[in-house]
């Protein structure tokens, strides 16, 4: 069986790729926008086809000879109208699949009904409808899941951060809305088994474990984490206010907090029993078990994918941004590391940010992150997927990794709200750690911003390179 996996660099797709690779009889091809986001360790086991669903030619190439195609794509983070993009993307995909003679499309969307759906969910429903619209030409299995519980998923990061940081939780009215969570491993199992399903017609399969309110999600998660939490009902807390509150407590930016809160205003429970009927061997694990598994992955640094892995937003679209040229301004510091092993220095540079911070003037980094959050940016509490290792496409506080050459170069692209574009580069040149910041201002305000912030940049960047060398000197060799 030849399989095409789209969205293979996103939250679900990265994990499904690992699951599919466990079956050695499968012939797997990935459809990705940027091949560099796929780690080398997988490359010998699969084929990679680069392209976009907006580029029909690349789609036709990727779908050649494919039997089953997974559709795990959405445009939610895009700057322009995501609904329109989602529609076009699904139409292109469906038509290309039919033309290529694909037998089955497997799609994962959200739980919920049209009448009460948020804008985001409506778009997911429309995508499912488009993909299922030509049943005589191609079969579509459309899974619908609500809150997915897994390390690094946006919903779980929200639950985890609320529970861990707030001894007293102010509970808005929507906290009583019913939902039906599901653990990520169960989602992957449904998706995995669907390729072999003995069914010819289109199917909608709603998946979830037990029904509960969002309040129960918090209370049960706190129990798993060994914490006792008190809830105080605050019926006047509006969705907008709640979303604002969430951005300071959790790693998600305002746009995602708002979409999730909007989604929680209406019930997301299963509407059909097809999961039981067609997948009788899968018994979704109880919510508390899924929470415990997610926590153990976080504690053991085994987070395979993260909610901000995708480059959906234009500024995270990293392709072509690994070369920095045409700069307005650069600020470079070179530090001689003498007899220290270069790999140690590079590993130390790779460990910047996240929980351990930015070595020196950490408060300034955090303050900048706080300002960024207020104006809708990612801020610094987004953290990093793994405390030591990075891969291209990883987010790192308010940066995105856009180039990584082990032992040689790490290039970060700034995703914070800025009047321009900025990069931060670490490279090893002979015995020097060279740290360079680049900035391309947007208009006059961009130039004023750069000049006004120069003293702060000089301070933090000097402290940063100094801190990297200090850590390299003191850390043991691995």
Ligand X SMILES: NC(=O)c1ccc[n+]([C@@H]2O[C@H](COP(=O)([O-])OP(=O)(O)OC[C@H]3O[C@@H](n4cnc5c(N)ncnc54)[C@H](OP(=O)(O)O)[C@@H]3O)[C@@H](O)[C@H]2O)c1
**Dihedral over Cα of 75, 81, 84, 89: its sign:** negative
Q: How far is the CB of 89 from ligand X (least distance, A)?
A: 5
107 pairs with which residues across the strands?
71, 142
Residue that is written with structure tokens 């997927």 in the block: 385
Q: Applying CB under 6 A, which of residues 3, 38, 75, 191 lies at the interface with ligand X? A: 75
Give the closest residue to 426 by CA, choosing from 332, 336, 363.
332
Check: CB of residue 205 under 8 Å from CB of residue 143: yes
Binding of ligand X by 361 (CB under 6 A) = no
CB of 312 to ligand X, least distance (A): 5
Instruction: Supply 7's token pair.
Output: 């969205």
Distance (Å, rounded) from C-alpha 478 to C-alpha 471?
14
* Contact flag: residue 311 with ligand X (CB under 6 A): yes
Residue with the shortest CB distance to ligand X: 10
Q: Are 258 and 238 in contact (CB under 8 A)?
A: no
Least Å distance, CB 429 to ligand X, is 30
Nearest to 103 by CA among 183, 34, 200: 200
Spatial separation of the C-alpha atoms in residues 336 and 434, rounded to whole Å:
9
Determine if 73 is a binding residue for ligand X (CB under 6 A).
Answer: yes
Per-residue binder mask for ligand X (CB under 6 A), 443-472, x = binder: ------------------------------
User: Is 214 strand, coil or helix?
Assistant: helix
Q: Mark the segment that binds ligand X (CB under 6 A) among 66-74, 169-177, 291-299, 421-429.
A: 66-74
Verify binding: residue 427, ligand X, rule CB under 6 A: no
By CB under 6 A, residue 33 contacts ligand X: yes
Taking the C-alpha atoms of residue 382 and residue 387, their distance in angstroms, rounded to an integer, is: 13
Query: For ligand X, which stretch binds (CB under 6 A), given 9-17, 38-46, 237-245, 373-381?
Result: 9-17
> How far apart (Å, rounded) are the C-alpha atoms in residues 388 and 467?
15
Per CB under 6 A, 4 contacts ligand X: no
Q: Give the distance between the most distant pair of CA atoms in the chain.
A: 69
Chain center to CA of 183: 17
* Shortest Å distance, C-beta 133 to ligand X: 17
The yes or no reply on residue 7 touching ligand X (CB under 6 A) is yes
Nearer to ligand X, 154 or 460 (CB): 154
Q: Is 153 in the site for ligand X (CB under 6 A)?
A: yes
- Binder among 20, 34, 38, 217 for ligand X (CB under 6 A): 34
Residue 92 as a binder of ligand X (CB under 6 A): the answer is no
Tell me how far apart the alpha carbons of residues 160 and 157 are, in angstroms, rounded to a whole number.
Answer: 5
Q: Which is nearer to ligand X, 151 or 153 (CB)?
A: 153
180 binds ligand X (CB under 6 A): no
In the complex with ligand X, the residue whose CB is nearer, 181 or 239, is 181
108 scored as a contact of ligand X (CB under 6 A): yes
**CA angle at 359 for the pair 384 and 248, rounded to the nearest 5°:** 50
Q: Does 378 bind ligand X (CB under 6 A)?
A: no
221: contact with ligand X by CB under 6 A: no
Q: Which residues, numbered 245-284, are part of the site for ligand X (CB under 6 A)? A: none
Q: How many CB atoms lie within 10 A of CB 463?
A: 17
Stretch that binds ligand X, among 7-15, 260-268, 370-378, 400-408 (CB under 6 A): 7-15
Token pair belonging to 208: 């979830």
Q: Which of 6, 97, 32 lies closest to 60, judged by CA?
A: 97
Q: Determine if 66 is a binding residue for ligand X (CB under 6 A).
A: no
Rounded CA gap, 352 and 463, in Å? 12
Q: Which of 110, 208, 369, 377 binds ligand X (CB under 6 A)?
A: 110
Check residue 13 for interaction with ligand X (CB under 6 A): yes
Residue among 127 and 361 whose Cβ is closer to ligand X? 127
Binding site for ligand X (CB under 6 A): 6-7, 9-13, 33-34, 37, 52-54, 72-75, 89, 108-110, 124, 145, 148, 153-155, 309-312
């Amino acid at each position: 069986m030849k399989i095409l996996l789209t969205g293979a660099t996103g939250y679900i797709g990265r994990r499904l790729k690992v699951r599919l690779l466990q079956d050695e009889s499968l012939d797997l091809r990935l459809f990705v926008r940027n091949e560099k986001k796929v780690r080398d360790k997988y490359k010998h086991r699969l084929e990679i086809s680069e392209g976009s669903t907006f580029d029909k030619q690349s789609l036709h190439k990727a779908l050649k000879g494919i039997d089953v195609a997974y559709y795990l794509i959405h445009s939610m983070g895009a700057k322009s109208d995501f609904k329109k993009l989602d529609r076009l993307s699904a139409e292109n995909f469906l038509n290309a699949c039919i033309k290529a003679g694909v037998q089955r499309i497997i799609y994962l969307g959200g739980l919920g009904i049209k009448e009460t759906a948020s804008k985001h969910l409506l778009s997911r429903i429309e995508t499912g409808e488009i993909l299922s619209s030509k049943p005589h030409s191609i079969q579509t299995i459309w899974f619908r899941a609500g809150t997915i519980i897994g390390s690094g998923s946006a919903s779980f990061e929200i639950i985890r951060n609320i529970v861990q940081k707030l001894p007293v939780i102010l509970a808005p009215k929507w906290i009583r809305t019913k939902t039906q969570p599901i653990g990520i491993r169960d989602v992957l199992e449904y998706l995995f088994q669907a390729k072999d399903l003995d069914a010819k017609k289109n199917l909608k399969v709603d998946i979830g474990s037990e029904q509960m309110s969002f309040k129960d999600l918090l209370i049960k998660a706190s129990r798993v984490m060994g914490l006792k939490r008190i809830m105080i009902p605050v019926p006047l807390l509006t969705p907008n206010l709640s979303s604002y509150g969430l951005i300071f407590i959790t790693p998600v930016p305002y746009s995602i907090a708002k979409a999730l809160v909007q989604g929680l205003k209406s019930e997301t429970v299963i509407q059909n029993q097809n999961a039981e009927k067609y997948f009788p061997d899968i018994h979704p694990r109880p919510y508390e078990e899924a929470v415990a598994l997610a926590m153990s992955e976080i504690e053991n640094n085994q987070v395979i994918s993260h909610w901000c892995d995708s480059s959906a937003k234009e500024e995270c679209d990293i392709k072509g941004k690994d070369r920095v040229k045409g700069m307005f301004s650069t600020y470079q510091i070179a530090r001689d590391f003498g007899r220290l092993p270069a790999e140690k220095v590079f590993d130390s540079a790779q460990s910047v940010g996240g929980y351990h911070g930015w070595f020196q003037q950490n408060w300034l980094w955090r303050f900048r992150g706080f300002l960024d959050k207020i104006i809708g940016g990612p801020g610094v509490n987004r953290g990093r997927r793994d405390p030591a290792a990075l891969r291209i496409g990883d987010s790192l506080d308010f940066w995105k990794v856009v180039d990584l050459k082990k032992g040689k170069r790490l290039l970060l692209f700034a995703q914070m709200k800025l009047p321009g574009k900025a990069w931060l580069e670490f490279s090893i040149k002979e015995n020097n750690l060279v740290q360079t910041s680049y900035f391309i201002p947007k208009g006059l305000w961009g130039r004023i911003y750069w000049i006004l912030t120069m003293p702060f940049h000089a301070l933090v960047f000097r402290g940063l390179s100094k801190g990297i060398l200090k850590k390299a000197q003191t850390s043991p060799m691995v």
